[in-house]
């Protein structure tokens, strides 16, 4: 009989993390769930059974993350599946975002996930099993969106280190998957989640328009269902060999195809220059 799998999910108080944790608990998985405010996490999930361990964690604090993982392993004896989900979108052009605004987005989306990976890997490496899902975005595969450069850069970083991680940990029986969601109907584009620039520059018309469209039209009308994303993650976690790259949503599929075509076009069109640099 399979022993009960233990999941660790960051950013579990709302959105995709919240939906996933609810579904995992309904399916009798054990869950270590983290959030910046544990009271709201308990309130939101509403499950106080012994298979649910809510922990207050600031993912940007390495020590906090280490303690939470220690607590999770002490409580359940192991961690099997890790979902680096906590993250937010910082809208704004590269010129208008301050150093602080840009770094804060990297702190949460990139260094937060690295803190989890660094502190959980000793356990996965020792037990010689485990699966890590790092939630990037289709914006971590294609960055050609005015006003989303910093957010996309954080998600490109997630994709880059996940590809390396997959190579590093496969010898220990651990898988690493970069997940590229398209638009999912969560709080992602709502006030309190997405951040807009403190000092916007009106001359960036395309970026201002994109900001308006995202906050006023796309928010609430995203084509993808977080419940189905959670189902896919659970299904993939049962695969013998989970993929390194996982796209979620028809929009993500189309954008990935478009990116592959654009890249291929540039590779071929400029090939003579590319090949001209050898000694
Ligand atoms: P959401 O805003 O509903 O939830 C985000 C979660 O991350 C929340 O639990 C929140 O508390 C946590 N979080 C946000 N900022 C944080 C911070 N500073 N420190 C710690 N935790 C923080 O959005 P979501 O759609 O559920 O997002 C989940 C993940 O999916 C994010 O990494 C996001 O970038 C990614 N994503 C979402 C979409 C989408 O359309 N919803 C698309 C692509 C990628």
| 47 has a pLDDT exceeding 80 | no
Backbone angles phi, psi at 165, to 5 degrees: -60, -40
Q: 46: which residues sit within 8 A by CB, 6+ positions away? A: none
DSSP 277: G
Q: What is the pLDDT of residues 49-103, one digit of tens each?
A: 899 999 999 999 999 999 999 999 999 999 999 999 999 999 999 999 999 999 9
**How much is the pLDDT for 2?**
58
**Pairwise CA distance, residues 22 & 41, whole Å:** 11
The answer to whether 182 and 4 have CB atoms below 8 angstroms apart is no
Query: Which atom of ligand 1 is the closest one to the Cα of 84?
Result: 32
Query: Which atom of ligand 1 is the closest one to the Cα of 60?
Result: 19
**pTM score, two decimals?**
0.97
Which residue, by CA, sits nearest to atom 41 of ligand 1? Answer: 184
Q: Say what angle helices 149-169 and 99-106 make with each other, to 10 degrees.
A: 30
Q: What is the pLDDT of residues 182-216, one digit of tens each?
A: 999 999 999 889 999 999 999 999 999 999 999 99
Nearest CA-CA partner of 249 in 149, 116, 141, 111:
141
Residues classed as catalytic: 136, 151, 155
Ligand 1 proximity of 113 Cβ (cutoff 6 Å)? no
**How much is the pLDDT for 1?**
44
Burial of 171 per CB tally in 10 Å (0-12, 13-18, 19+): exposed
Ligand 1 proximity of 23 Cβ (cutoff 6 Å)? no
The full length of the chain comes to 279
User: What DSSP element (H or E) covers 19?
Assistant: helix 15-26
Ligand 1 proximity of 13 Cβ (cutoff 6 Å)? yes
Backbone angles phi, psi at 235, to 5 degrees: -65, -45
Radius of gyration of the chain (CA): 19
Structure tokens at 217: 């039209």
Nearest CA-CA partner of 129 in 65, 79, 179:
79
Query: Which atom of ligand 1 is the closest one to the Cα of 86?
Result: 7
| 3 has a pLDDT exceeding 80 | no
Burial of 275 per CB tally in 10 Å (0-12, 13-18, 19+): exposed
Structural domains of the chain, with CATH: 6-275 (3.40.50.720)
The answer to whether 17 and 233 have CB atoms below 8 angstroms apart is no
């Amino acid at each position: 009989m399979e022993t009960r799998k233990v999941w660790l999910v960051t950013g579990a108080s709302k959105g995709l993390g919240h939906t996933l944790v609810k579904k995992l608990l309904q399916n009798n998985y054990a869950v270590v769930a983290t959030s910046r405010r544990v009271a709201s996490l308990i309130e939101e999930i509403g499950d106080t059974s012994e298979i649910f361990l809510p922990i207050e964690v600031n993912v940007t604090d390495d020590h906090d993350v280490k303690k939470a993982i220690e607590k999770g392993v002490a409580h359940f004896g192991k961690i099997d599946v890790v979902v680096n989900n906590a993250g937010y979108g910082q809208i704004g052009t590269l010129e208008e975002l301050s150093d602080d605004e840009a770094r804060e987005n990297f702190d949460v989306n990139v260094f937060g996930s690295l803190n989890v990976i660094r502190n959980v890997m000793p356990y996965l490496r020792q037990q010689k099993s485990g699966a890590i899902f790092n939630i990037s975005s289709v914006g971590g595969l294609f960055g050609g969106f005015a006003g989303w450069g910093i957010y996309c850069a954080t998600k490109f970083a997630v994709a880059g280190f996940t590809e390396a991680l997959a190579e590093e940990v496969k010898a220990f029986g651990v898988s690493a998957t970069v997940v590229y969601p398209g638009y999912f109907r969560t709080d992602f584009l709502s006030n309190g989640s997405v951040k807009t620039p403190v000092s916007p520059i009106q001359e960036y018309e395309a970026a201002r328009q994109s900001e308006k469209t995202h906050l006023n039209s796309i928010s609430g009308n995203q084509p993808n269902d977080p419940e189905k994303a959670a189902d896919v993650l659970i299904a993939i976690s049962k695969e013998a060999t989970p993929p390194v790259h996982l796209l979620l949503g028809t929009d993500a599929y189309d954008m990935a195809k478009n990116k592959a075509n654009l890249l291929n076009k540039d590779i071929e069109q400029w090939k003579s220059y590319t090949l001209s640099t050898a000694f």
